[in-house]
Structure 1
């Protein structure tokens, strides 16, 4: 009988890392190495599980774990950094190269590399504007992806581009980390009374962390093979449900909260530009680019159904219910320990 595969999960205390770890513990016999900085944030997975090994440390110093990394068969790399340009470069670019160098290339079967759908266009091609105008997070993700496309391991790398990710509850309760998108539901509903009078052309995808875990779990537990979308040998998947419009979303939010949705004012692009000028809002080149785009949709998108599985959260209503958003009355108080994505 073959030995269970050894899978490394970086960013293991984040919403995606914990969801993938939980999925693998339930649906596979893999041995898991969880690389994280703060073990106390591991709330949805029992760190005492016999198939877990914790690697507690900073991603920027992989050589301290050379012995463990040399025995890894597969990797899912979700760790990331933003805010500080120097740290973003060190974590999002340099640390990825250093990590790959520590792996045994003769043994390694697959690397799932998490990026962001913000750096690819409708047809899943890399956006030139991401490197030109993006934030330090966007730029470093685009630069790292270009480097990986030329890497010797590119035929074993799967580029994963999640769209907007929901996870956890708005009150911070429960075992699952709360994503920044779920945290943003609170101010969204607090301003829904005003937003329902506005109309804005735009569209987007979302996906729940549990469905991301289902997709990644499938990829990590099946033989690595060429996918339908490839760059010079590298597989690529944008993860998301079918697109929603902004106006349709407001309608559904109002219906969920049993609020009226009266006729509204159309926010044309010229009006948005005027508001920016009147209120002297400072916009970066990337802000201006995204404001002009407005339709953040991709084709094709990958859902659990793409691999014969069922989405647990296929629509906004199931997402809102799982996030603890009541259909009537006040929103629950926010928690004091909201756990971040990474």
Structure 2
């Protein structure tokens, strides 16, 4: 049986490296890894005989058009934000040029990474994301619309991660820490005041290891008859509230909570009007929206798998976040 070829873009990132590890352990695929800096990959990956590095910015990936034409599976995680032109060039233009280099007769599946920020509670496109979103959110919205109408739609699984954790806070981590995990370093600085506030705003989260599990399942095990047409999956564990998260962190740090002031949606709107706080249009919209929960969501259990990190307690333990309660 011929060995399949899998291309992963954004391979240097947190999710990218969990994906690499999963496919090396669970498949015999040949992995094409698109990276800008190979030195950000562990030496064991760089030297693995099943891996071929495509060292380039995705905007210059035509240098590897021959390799790209041999791809059977594409997992596209590469993205850009901050500068509007770069966001458009990377998130839309370069991705569509990459699709044009694929050989459709060889290509079996695409897993396209978007963001849950462009979807409403019913997992449909949220127009406000295009109106108020950052350049990253806006380009992801536009790219999703174009991909859904493209000739690649039938072969595409669009995944929408919610808040992503991964890696650890110590230097011995096998994987790079996600932005959220890195942000946990600052969390104890704000707990002393957060314990006096009550915010019931809901959110989902997911660990990068569980994202890799789900992508592996979709590539290897999905049955075509169960997934007709363009397919989308919001990746996350069951929602919790910000207040639940505060209580978990307080318990972990051995801190008491004697009272809390409810910050309702109405109070938040009033505070936005009276406080001299500078916010982007997306910040203002997010506060007014209040909840970021979705139905349905997909986690490993929905696919008869077992989550690596099913609870926020699991996430904090795996991140090696210091605390009084480390169990």
The TM tier, using the shorter chain, reads over 0.9
Question: Post-superposition shift, 1:278?
Answer: 4.1
The corresponding residue for 1:333 is none
Instruction: After TM superposition, list the pairs within 5 Å mapping 1:16-165 onto structure 2.
Output: 16-43=15-42, 46-165=45-164
Counterparts of 2:226 and 2:64 in 1: how far apart (Å)? 31
With normalisation by structure 1, the TM-score equals 0.91
Counterparts of 2:303 and 2:265 in 1: how far apart (Å)? 39
**Shift in CA distance, 88/226, structure 1 to aligned 2, threshold 3 Å:** farther
More helix by share: 2
Question: Post-superposition shift, 1:171?
Answer: 3.8
Counterparts of 1:102 and 1:23 in 2: how far apart (Å)? 26
Structure 2 residue 242 is matched with structure 1 residue 206: no
The corresponding residue for 2:299 is 303
Native 8 Å contact 1:39 1:56 kept in 2: yes
Question: Post-superposition shift, 1:227?
Answer: 4.9
Native 8 Å contact 2:265 2:290 kept in 1: no
Counterparts of 1:207 and 1:58 in 2: how far apart (Å)? 28
With normalisation by structure 2, the TM-score equals 0.95
Q: Kindly provide the CA deviation profile for residues 261-317 of structure 1, in whole angstroms up to 9, marking residues without a partner as x.
A: 221111133433443344411222222211111111111111111222100111111
Counterparts of 1:325 and 1:197 in 2: how far apart (Å)? 22
Native 8 Å contact 2:268 2:288 kept in 1: no
Counterparts of 2:115 and 2:239 in 1: how far apart (Å)? 16
Instruction: After TM superposition, list the pairs within 5 Å mapping 1:263-282 onto structure 2.
Output: 263-282=259-278
Deviates more, 1:167-176 or 1:218-227: 218-227
**Shift in CA distance, 285/246, structure 1 to aligned 2, threshold 3 Å:** same
Native 8 Å contact 1:88 1:136 kept in 2: yes
SS at match of 1:295: coil
Counterparts of 1:280 and 1:227 in 2: how far apart (Å)? 52
Native 8 Å contact 1:156 1:224 kept in 2: no
Gaps of 5+ in 1: 330-342
The corresponding residue for 2:286 is 290
Deviates more, 1:205-214 or 1:251-260: 251-260
Size of the aligned set, in residue pairs, is 325
Q: Kindly provide the CA deviation profile for residues 54-87 of structure 1, in whole angstroms up to 9, marking residues without a partner as x.
A: 0000001121111000100000000000001000
Structure 1 consecutive aligned stretches of length 4 or more whose deviation exceeds 6 Å: none
Q: Kindly provide the CA deviation profile for residues 199-251 of structure 1, in whole angstroms up to 9, marking residues without a partner as x.
A: 112000000000101111111223562556x7xx2100000001101111111
Counterparts of 1:252 and 1:284 in 2: how far apart (Å)? 30
**Shift in CA distance, 208/300, structure 1 to aligned 2, threshold 3 Å:** same
Question: Post-superposition shift, 1:172?
Answer: 4.8
Counterparts of 1:274 and 1:171 in 2: how far apart (Å)? 41
**Shift in CA distance, 63/181, structure 1 to aligned 2, threshold 3 Å:** same
Indicate the RMSD between aligned Cα atoms, in angstroms: 1.6
The corresponding residue for 1:334 is none
**Shift in CA distance, 226/97, structure 1 to aligned 2, threshold 3 Å:** farther
**Shift in CA distance, 5/164, structure 1 to aligned 2, threshold 3 Å:** same
Deviates more, 1:97-106 or 1:254-263: 254-263
Larger RCO, structure (CA 8 Å, separation 6 or more) = 1
